Amino acid sequence: MPLPEALEVVSFMAGGYRCAVEAEQVRTQLPAQDSASVPTAEQLLGLPCDETQNARRTLLLKHPAGDYAVTVSDPVELRGLQIDTIYPLPPLIAARNRLVGLRGLALDAEGVTLLVDFLEARAGAR
Amino acid sequence: MEQEQSGLDKILSLRREASAEIVNVDEPTLKLVIFELGGEWFAFPGEAIREILPQVDIFFVPGCPASLEGVINVRGDIESVIGLAELLGKPAAHTAQPSSILRGHGGGMHSGIRVERVVDVLDVVQSAIQPPPSTLPEHMRHIVSGLMRHQEVPVVILDLNRIFEDYHRGLG
Protein backbone atom coordinates (compact mmCIF):
# COMPACT_ATOMS: atom_id res chain seq x y z
CA MET A 1 0.00 0.00 0.00
CA PRO A 2 1.52 3.34 -0.95
CA LEU A 3 2.31 5.77 1.86
CA PRO A 4 0.04 8.80 2.18
CA GLU A 5 1.61 12.14 1.32
CA ALA A 6 1.03 13.49 4.79
CA LEU A 7 0.54 12.25 8.34
CA GLU A 8 -2.34 13.80 10.25
CA VAL A 9 -1.12 14.99 13.62
CA VAL A 10 -2.29 17.13 16.48
CA SER A 11 0.51 19.58 17.18
CA PHE A 12 0.92 21.44 20.45
CA MET A 13 3.55 23.08 22.60
CA ALA A 14 5.14 21.40 25.62
CA GLY A 15 8.02 22.79 27.64
CA GLY A 16 8.48 25.47 25.00
CA TYR A 17 8.98 22.91 22.21
CA ARG A 18 6.70 22.06 19.31
CA CYS A 19 5.42 18.51 19.60
CA ALA A 20 2.95 16.41 17.70
CA VAL A 21 1.05 13.22 18.30
CA GLU A 22 -0.65 11.12 15.63
CA ALA A 23 -4.20 12.41 15.23
CA GLU A 24 -5.58 8.87 15.37
CA GLN A 25 -4.41 8.68 19.01
CA VAL A 26 -6.49 11.74 19.96
CA ARG A 27 -10.19 11.43 20.80
CA THR A 28 -10.88 15.14 21.27
CA GLN A 29 -9.65 18.41 22.69
CA LEU A 30 -11.16 19.87 25.84
CA PRO A 31 -10.70 23.15 27.72
CA ALA A 32 -7.90 22.83 30.26
CA GLN A 33 -8.96 20.91 33.32
CA ASP A 34 -7.65 22.53 36.45
CA SER A 35 -6.92 19.29 38.18
CA ALA A 36 -3.70 17.97 39.60
CA SER A 37 -4.82 14.48 38.58
CA VAL A 38 -4.40 15.32 34.88
CA PRO A 39 -0.76 14.84 33.96
CA THR A 40 0.98 17.45 31.82
CA ALA A 41 2.73 16.59 28.57
CA GLU A 42 5.92 17.90 30.17
CA GLN A 43 5.63 15.41 33.05
CA LEU A 44 4.96 12.47 30.75
CA LEU A 45 7.63 13.27 28.17
CA GLY A 46 10.30 14.51 30.58
CA LEU A 47 10.39 18.06 29.23
CA PRO A 48 11.02 21.12 31.39
CA CYS A 49 7.97 22.90 32.81
CA ASP A 50 6.31 25.25 30.36
CA GLU A 51 7.19 28.79 31.39
CA THR A 52 5.31 30.46 28.55
CA GLN A 53 2.00 32.16 29.20
CA ASN A 54 0.29 30.13 26.48
CA ALA A 55 -3.17 28.86 27.31
CA ARG A 56 -3.38 25.24 28.40
CA ARG A 57 -5.68 22.69 26.87
CA THR A 58 -6.48 19.08 27.55
CA LEU A 59 -6.18 16.36 24.96
CA LEU A 60 -8.27 13.28 25.51
CA LEU A 61 -6.25 10.35 24.17
CA LYS A 62 -7.51 6.94 23.14
CA HIS A 63 -6.38 3.93 25.14
CA PRO A 64 -7.60 0.32 25.13
CA ALA A 65 -8.08 0.49 28.90
CA GLY A 66 -9.99 3.78 28.72
CA ASP A 67 -9.35 7.27 27.43
CA TYR A 68 -6.96 9.44 29.40
CA ALA A 69 -6.24 13.15 29.53
CA VAL A 70 -3.03 15.13 29.10
CA THR A 71 -2.63 18.89 29.34
CA VAL A 72 -0.64 20.72 26.65
CA SER A 73 -0.03 24.35 25.67
CA ASP A 74 -1.46 26.35 22.79
CA PRO A 75 -1.35 26.51 19.86
CA VAL A 76 -3.06 23.14 19.46
CA GLU A 77 -3.71 22.40 15.79
CA LEU A 78 -4.77 19.55 13.58
CA ARG A 79 -2.35 19.53 10.65
CA GLY A 80 -0.80 17.36 7.99
CA LEU A 81 2.93 16.72 8.24
CA GLN A 82 4.45 15.98 4.84
CA ILE A 83 5.97 12.50 4.87
CA ASP A 84 9.28 13.76 3.49
CA THR A 85 9.71 16.02 6.54
CA ILE A 86 9.44 13.08 8.97
CA TYR A 87 12.59 11.28 10.11
CA PRO A 88 13.44 8.45 12.48
CA LEU A 89 15.77 9.47 15.29
CA PRO A 90 19.44 9.44 14.25
CA PRO A 91 21.20 6.58 16.09
CA LEU A 92 23.15 8.70 18.58
CA ILE A 93 20.03 10.68 19.49
CA ALA A 94 17.99 7.48 19.83
CA ALA A 95 20.68 6.12 22.17
CA ARG A 96 21.24 9.22 24.30
CA ASN A 97 18.00 11.18 24.36
CA ARG A 98 16.22 11.05 27.72
CA LEU A 99 12.74 12.08 26.63
CA VAL A 100 10.13 9.38 27.14
CA GLY A 101 7.99 8.50 24.15
CA LEU A 102 10.03 10.43 21.55
CA ARG A 103 9.52 8.46 18.32
CA GLY A 104 10.88 10.71 15.60
CA LEU A 105 11.43 14.24 14.37
CA ALA A 106 9.83 16.39 11.74
CA LEU A 107 11.98 19.09 10.24
CA ASP A 108 10.46 21.77 8.05
CA ALA A 109 10.59 25.50 7.52
CA GLU A 110 9.19 26.04 11.01
CA GLY A 111 12.01 24.03 12.61
CA VAL A 112 11.90 20.81 14.61
CA THR A 113 8.71 19.10 15.75
CA LEU A 114 9.06 16.31 18.31
CA LEU A 115 6.89 13.36 17.27
CA VAL A 116 5.76 11.73 20.47
CA ASP A 117 3.72 8.72 21.51
CA PHE A 118 1.81 9.27 24.74
CA LEU A 119 1.03 5.56 25.08
CA GLU A 120 4.75 4.86 25.27
CA ALA A 121 5.36 7.89 27.48
CA ARG A 122 2.59 6.81 29.85
CA ALA A 123 3.99 3.28 30.06
CA GLY A 124 7.47 4.70 30.67
CA ALA A 125 6.23 7.05 33.38
CA ARG A 126 4.86 4.20 35.48
CA MET B 1 88.89 11.97 -19.60
CA GLU B 2 85.53 12.60 -18.00
CA GLN B 3 83.28 14.84 -20.07
CA GLU B 4 81.73 17.85 -18.37
CA GLN B 5 77.97 17.53 -18.02
CA SER B 6 75.91 19.74 -20.28
CA GLY B 7 73.09 21.79 -18.92
CA LEU B 8 70.60 19.24 -20.20
CA ASP B 9 72.54 16.38 -18.60
CA LYS B 10 72.51 18.15 -15.27
CA ILE B 11 68.77 18.75 -15.49
CA LEU B 12 68.09 15.16 -16.51
CA SER B 13 70.31 13.90 -13.75
CA LEU B 14 68.51 16.03 -11.17
CA ARG B 15 65.15 14.86 -12.47
CA ARG B 16 66.27 11.23 -12.20
CA GLU B 17 67.34 11.81 -8.59
CA ALA B 18 64.01 13.48 -7.85
CA SER B 19 62.17 10.51 -9.34
CA ALA B 20 64.31 8.17 -7.30
CA GLU B 21 63.37 10.11 -4.16
CA ILE B 22 59.70 9.80 -4.99
CA VAL B 23 60.09 6.07 -5.33
CA ASN B 24 61.86 5.97 -1.97
CA VAL B 25 58.88 7.45 -0.19
CA ASP B 26 56.35 5.35 -2.04
CA GLU B 27 55.14 3.66 1.09
CA PRO B 28 51.62 3.22 2.45
CA THR B 29 49.91 6.49 3.15
CA LEU B 30 46.91 7.49 5.19
CA LYS B 31 44.60 10.33 4.29
CA LEU B 32 43.89 12.56 7.26
CA VAL B 33 41.43 15.36 7.90
CA ILE B 34 43.18 17.70 10.32
CA PHE B 35 41.12 20.13 12.36
CA GLU B 36 41.47 22.53 15.25
CA LEU B 37 39.74 22.44 18.62
CA GLY B 38 40.63 24.61 21.59
CA GLY B 39 43.93 25.66 20.02
CA GLU B 40 45.06 22.06 19.46
CA TRP B 41 45.15 20.04 16.25
CA PHE B 42 43.42 16.70 15.86
CA ALA B 43 42.75 14.43 12.88
CA PHE B 44 40.40 11.73 11.70
CA PRO B 45 41.35 9.21 9.02
CA GLY B 46 39.89 10.45 5.75
CA GLU B 47 38.03 7.17 5.22
CA ALA B 48 35.89 8.03 8.27
CA ILE B 49 34.84 11.41 6.92
CA ARG B 50 32.27 11.58 4.14
CA GLU B 51 32.08 15.31 3.73
CA ILE B 52 33.07 18.63 5.26
CA LEU B 53 30.17 21.04 5.58
CA PRO B 54 30.51 24.75 6.14
CA GLN B 55 28.53 26.30 8.97
CA VAL B 56 24.96 25.00 8.76
CA ASP B 57 21.95 25.51 11.00
CA ILE B 58 21.83 23.06 13.91
CA PHE B 59 18.34 22.37 15.23
CA PHE B 60 18.27 21.77 18.97
CA VAL B 61 16.59 18.60 20.24
CA PRO B 62 15.66 18.67 23.95
CA GLY B 63 16.53 15.77 26.21
CA CYS B 64 20.03 15.20 24.81
CA PRO B 65 23.34 15.58 26.65
CA ALA B 66 24.97 18.97 26.10
CA SER B 67 27.55 17.40 23.79
CA LEU B 68 24.77 16.26 21.44
CA GLU B 69 23.97 19.61 19.92
CA GLY B 70 21.01 18.69 17.71
CA VAL B 71 20.35 17.73 14.12
CA ILE B 72 21.22 19.13 10.72
CA ASN B 73 19.43 18.77 7.43
CA VAL B 74 21.75 17.40 4.78
CA ARG B 75 20.09 17.40 1.39
CA GLY B 76 16.81 16.04 2.67
CA ASP B 77 18.17 13.73 5.36
CA ILE B 78 18.94 14.49 8.98
CA GLU B 79 22.00 13.71 11.03
CA SER B 80 22.88 14.28 14.64
CA VAL B 81 25.69 16.70 15.48
CA ILE B 82 28.04 16.12 18.39
CA GLY B 83 30.36 18.77 19.77
CA LEU B 84 33.73 17.09 19.87
CA ALA B 85 35.26 19.68 22.22
CA GLU B 86 33.24 18.44 25.18
CA LEU B 87 34.04 14.80 24.46
CA LEU B 88 37.74 15.65 24.49
CA GLY B 89 37.46 17.64 27.70
CA LYS B 90 38.00 20.99 25.96
CA PRO B 91 35.91 24.09 26.60
CA ALA B 92 32.84 23.90 24.37
CA ALA B 93 32.93 26.35 21.49
CA HIS B 94 29.68 28.29 21.30
CA THR B 95 27.46 27.07 18.48
CA ALA B 96 27.20 30.66 17.21
CA GLN B 97 30.96 30.78 16.54
CA PRO B 98 32.10 29.98 13.00
CA SER B 99 32.76 26.27 12.74
CA SER B 100 32.69 23.36 10.34
CA ILE B 101 30.84 20.10 10.52
CA LEU B 102 32.53 16.86 9.53
CA ARG B 103 30.10 14.15 8.42
CA GLY B 104 31.68 11.08 9.92
CA HIS B 105 30.89 7.40 10.05
CA GLY B 106 32.16 4.75 12.40
CA GLY B 107 30.93 1.91 14.54
CA GLY B 108 28.06 1.35 12.12
CA MET B 109 26.73 4.86 12.73
CA HIS B 110 27.07 8.25 11.19
CA SER B 111 26.84 11.72 12.65
CA GLY B 112 28.00 15.23 12.16
CA ILE B 113 30.92 16.34 14.30
CA ARG B 114 31.31 20.04 14.98
CA VAL B 115 34.90 21.33 14.99
CA GLU B 116 36.26 24.88 15.11
CA ARG B 117 38.22 24.83 11.86
CA VAL B 118 39.43 22.35 9.26
CA VAL B 119 43.19 22.88 8.91
CA ASP B 120 44.08 20.54 6.07
CA VAL B 121 43.27 17.33 4.25
CA LEU B 122 46.40 15.45 3.25
CA ASP B 123 48.07 12.09 2.64
CA VAL B 124 50.63 11.15 5.27
CA VAL B 125 53.15 8.32 5.03
CA GLN B 126 52.37 5.83 7.76
CA SER B 127 55.92 5.90 9.11
CA ALA B 128 55.31 9.54 10.09
CA ILE B 129 52.66 8.43 12.55
CA GLN B 130 53.84 7.59 16.04
CA PRO B 131 51.95 5.34 18.47
CA PRO B 132 49.99 7.14 21.19
CA PRO B 133 52.26 8.18 24.06
CA SER B 134 51.71 6.64 27.47
CA THR B 135 51.42 10.13 28.94
CA LEU B 136 48.00 10.72 27.36
CA PRO B 137 45.24 11.67 29.80
CA GLU B 138 43.08 8.72 30.86
CA HIS B 139 39.99 9.86 28.94
CA MET B 140 42.00 10.13 25.69
CA ARG B 141 43.84 6.80 25.75
CA HIS B 142 41.01 4.72 24.32
CA ILE B 143 40.23 7.07 21.43
CA VAL B 144 43.70 8.13 20.23
CA SER B 145 45.22 5.99 17.51
CA GLY B 146 48.42 7.94 16.83
CA LEU B 147 50.38 11.13 16.91
CA MET B 148 52.19 13.09 14.17
CA ARG B 149 53.41 16.57 13.36
CA HIS B 150 52.10 18.82 10.61
CA GLN B 151 53.56 22.25 9.97
CA GLU B 152 55.55 21.71 13.18
CA VAL B 153 52.34 21.37 15.18
CA PRO B 154 51.51 18.14 17.04
CA VAL B 155 48.43 16.40 15.66
CA VAL B 156 46.49 13.85 17.68
CA ILE B 157 44.85 11.21 15.44
CA LEU B 158 41.49 10.04 16.75
CA ASP B 159 39.63 6.75 16.25
CA LEU B 160 36.09 7.67 15.17
CA ASN B 161 34.81 4.09 15.51
CA ARG B 162 35.63 4.13 19.20
CA ILE B 163 34.30 7.66 19.71
CA PHE B 164 30.91 6.79 18.21
CA GLU B 165 30.72 3.38 19.92
CA ASP B 166 31.58 4.87 23.33
CA TYR B 167 29.14 7.70 22.81
CA HIS B 168 26.39 5.30 21.80
CA ARG B 169 27.03 3.30 24.98
CA GLY B 170 26.56 6.42 27.08
CA LEU B 171 30.18 7.37 27.63
CA GLY B 172 31.35 10.89 26.99
Across B118-125, average pLDDT? 94
For the segment A58-96, what is each residue's pLDDT rounded down to a tens digit?
Answer: 999 998 888 999 999 999 999 999 999 999 999 999 999
**Cα(B163)–Cα(B172) distance, integer angstroms:** 8
> What's the 3-state SS for chain A?
CCCCCEEEEEEEEECCEEEEEEHHHEEEEEECCCCCCCCEHHHHHCCCCCCCCCCEEEEEECCCCCCEEEEEEEEEEEEEEEHHHEEECCHHHHHHCCCCCEEEEEEECCEEEEEECHHHHHHHHC
Give the nearest chain B residue to A98 (CA atoms).
B63
Pick from B78, B111, B167: CB nearest A107:
B78
Q: Taking 60 as the threshold, does the pLDDT of residue A17 lie above it?
A: yes
Q: How many residues does chain B have?
A: 172
Q: Taking 70 as the threshold, does the pLDDT of residue A26 lie above it?
A: yes
DSSP state of B4: P
Question: Which of A35-39, B15-19, B49-53: highest mean pLDDT?
Answer: B49-53
Across B126-154, average pLDDT? 91
Q: Does B42 touch chain A (CB under 8 A)?
A: no
Domains with residue ranges and CATH for chain B: 28-168 (2.40.50.180)
Q: What are the boundaries of each domain within chain A?
A: 6-125
ipTM above 0.85, yes or no: yes
Across A3-9, average pLDDT? 88
For the segment B45-100, what is each residue's pLDDT rounded down to a tens digit?
Answer: 999 999 999 878 999 999 999 999 999 999 989 999 999 988 888 876 665 667 89
Spell out the alpha helix ranges (H) of chain B.
7-24, 84-87, 138-141, 160-168
Chain A residues in contact with B164 by the CB 8 A cut-off are 92
